[in-house]
Amino acid sequence: MATNSYVRWWTDTNEQNLLQGLMTEAIKFHGFDLVYMPRSMRREDTLYNEDILSKFTSTYSIEAYLKNVTGWDGQGNFLSKFGLRVDDKMTLMISRERFDEIIPRARLTTGQISAEAGGVVITGNNTKFRSELKVGDTIITSRSGQSRTIVSIESNTKLTVNTPYASAVEAEYFSIPVATPTVLPTDRSILPPSRPMEGDLIYFPEPLNVMMEVKYVQHEKASGQFYPLGKLTFYEVECEIFTYNHEVIETGDPSIDVYAQTYEYQQDLFLVQESGSGVYEVGEHVYQGRNLADSTASADVVSWDADNRILRIGNIKGEFAPATLVVGYASQASYYLEEAPNTMLMPNTKAADNTYLDEQDNDIIDNREIHRIVGGV
């Protein structure tokens, strides 16, 4: 035979495992630690097959090697026809073995869940328990990381777990870990992705302290090599600076969650003096309605000015109505809202000019009901 009978490309697992081990070791020696966050879909547009709203609720520490060690790739900062653009990019090498080991598969879920401390009953908000879950599934909450097993499903918004919760679950997203089957099904689409996916986020701690978005993953060949020894040992992940677009980032890690809190839209709620009691807690959920699960509007507290009764909120869902109580889920503080907020604030984005335009439009737009040609001036 013309080829080497002792080293066969596609069947010699010993040589493949040796190459994989060497690659993993090299990345561990010369790489650095980062935080990987898989993306989950909150609202899918089935017509265009795209994700309208995303959520990031899980974090995994993994090492990676930075290929462009001399500086950022991309065009840097430049002025385009759409304004100032930051086009910083980088390329990472992530061990395939380590990715499969650290980042588990998980089924996507819909909605948020809540439960009382010491309780076993879970209530859902916009959940689909009957179609997405089954008895025996393990569910893991996003922020508190509490894992419980389902023992019964009463409806799409109510189920029971096996063990009482150690602490209250307050409108948290949840996931269901899925083990990779020994024999893969014919329809691979029913399995969650087992590689880095476009749209996932990567957080680089100090000294970079930057959030990157995965734009393209070279998962069939890397560095000009097409399955060396018959096996791909690492992924080449191309990333660029992440532009926040109101994705939900609730990982339970304050250093990461603050990213969304910094750049999301915020509103100031002016509450009626002497109309209630209590002190709102920064970070807690507030809502209007019978309870948080069935709320007509909800948000997270950014700040609370007790002297002037001004409540600044973020992560807003729905519209807050005047003359209605705004209730804090954890603090149980409650005050009536004086008037509906009409201005979205972006206090940490210097380029934001929506408030300025809202104030100036009265001098620009003529709202008089006069026909410009027939009877106008």
pLDDT tens readout for residues 34-79: 999 988 765 666 676 666 677 888 888 999 998 887 777 767 676 7
- Token code pair at residue 331: 């603090």
The three-point CA angle 224-227-231 to 5° equals: 145
pTM of the model: 0.66
Question: Residue 368 falls within a domain, yes or no?
Answer: no
pLDDT in tens, 166-182: 888 887 888 777 654 44
Q: Is the pLDDT reported for residue 187 higher than 60? A: no
- Token code pair at residue 56: 């990031």
Check whether residue 268 and residue 351 sit in a common domain. Answer: yes
Question: Residue 184 falls within a domain, yes or no?
Answer: no
Q: What is the pLDDT of residue 229?
A: 75
Check whether residue 269 and residue 350 sit in a common domain. Answer: yes
Q: What is the pLDDT of residue 189?
A: 39
**136: containing domain:** 109-178
Among 178, 206, 228, the domain-final residue is 178
Q: Is the pLDDT reported for residue 351 higher than 60? A: no
Among 91, 313, 303, CA closest to 215: 91
Q: What is the pLDDT of residue 26?
A: 93
Q: Is the pLDDT reported for residue 372 higher than 60? A: no
Average pLDDT rounded to a whole number, residues 72-89:
72
Question: Residue 185 falls within a domain, yes or no?
Answer: no
Among 172, 174, 93, 164, CA closest to 133: 174
CA distances from 233 to 23, 27, 180, 184 (A): 7, 11, 19, 21
CA distance 48 to 135: 33
**Are 300 and 315 in contact, with CB atoms under 8 Å apart?**
yes
> 35-44, 73-82, 103-112, 349-358 — which one is most confidently predicted on average?
35-44
Check whether residue 131 and residue 26 sit in a common domain. Answer: no
Question: Residue 26 falls within a domain, yes or no?
Answer: yes
Q: Is the pLDDT reported for residue 185 higher than 50? A: no
Among 178, 208, 235, the domain-final residue is 178
Check whether residue 207 and residue 351 sit in a common domain. Answer: no
Instruction: Centre a 10 Å sphere on the Cβ of residue 110 and count the other Cβ atoms it contains.
Output: 20
Q: What CATH number does residue 131 fall under? A: 2.40.30.20
- Token code pair at residue 377: 């001036």
Full strand arrangement of the beta sheet holding 50-56: 40-45, 50-56, 248-249
Q: Is the pLDDT reported for residue 374 higher than 60? A: no
Count CA atoms closer than 13 A to 236's CA, side-chain side. Answer: 13
Check whether residue 221 and residue 85 sit in a common domain. Answer: yes
Q: Give the DSSP letter string of 38-58.
A: --EEEEEETTTTEEEEEEE--
CA distance 315 to 329: 15
Among 63, 69, 59, CA closest to 97: 63
Q: What is the pLDDT of residue 244?
A: 81
If 0-12 CB within 10 Å is exposed, 13-18 middle and 19+ buried, where does residue 51 land?
Answer: middle
Check whether residue 53 and residue 94 sit in a common domain. Answer: yes
Question: Residue 140 falls within a domain, yes or no?
Answer: yes
Among 194, 197, 193, 150, CA closest to 174: 150
Question: Residue 360 falls within a domain, yes or no?
Answer: no
Among 26, 6, 175, CA closest to 97: 26
Check whether residue 125 and residue 83 sit in a common domain. Answer: no
Among 253, 263, 219, CA closest to 36: 253
Question: Residue 78 falls within a domain, yes or no?
Answer: yes
Among 249, 276, 291, the domain-final residue is 249
Q: What is the pLDDT of residue 186?
A: 43
Check whether residue 209 and residue 153 sit in a common domain. Answer: no
Count CA atoms closer than 13 A to 189's CA, side-chain side. Answer: 1
Instruction: Centre a 10 Å sphere on the Cβ of residue 163 and count the other Cβ atoms it contains.
Output: 11
Q: What 3-state class would DSSP assign to 26?
A: helix
Q: Scanning the structure block, which residue is given the tokens 């269901």? A: 176
CA distance 91 to 337: 49
Q: Is the pLDDT reported for residue 199 higher than 50? A: yes
Q: Which of 49-63, 239-253, 348-362 comes out lowest in average pLDDT?
A: 348-362
CA distance 280 to 290: 18
Nearest 5°: phi and psi at 15?
A: -70, -40
**Are 105 and 177 in contact, with CB atoms under 8 Å apart?**
yes
Among 99, 258, 129, 111, CA closest to 174: 111
Question: Residue 76 falls within a domain, yes or no?
Answer: yes
Q: What is the pLDDT of residue 150?
A: 93
Check whether residue 216 and residue 171 sit in a common domain. Answer: no
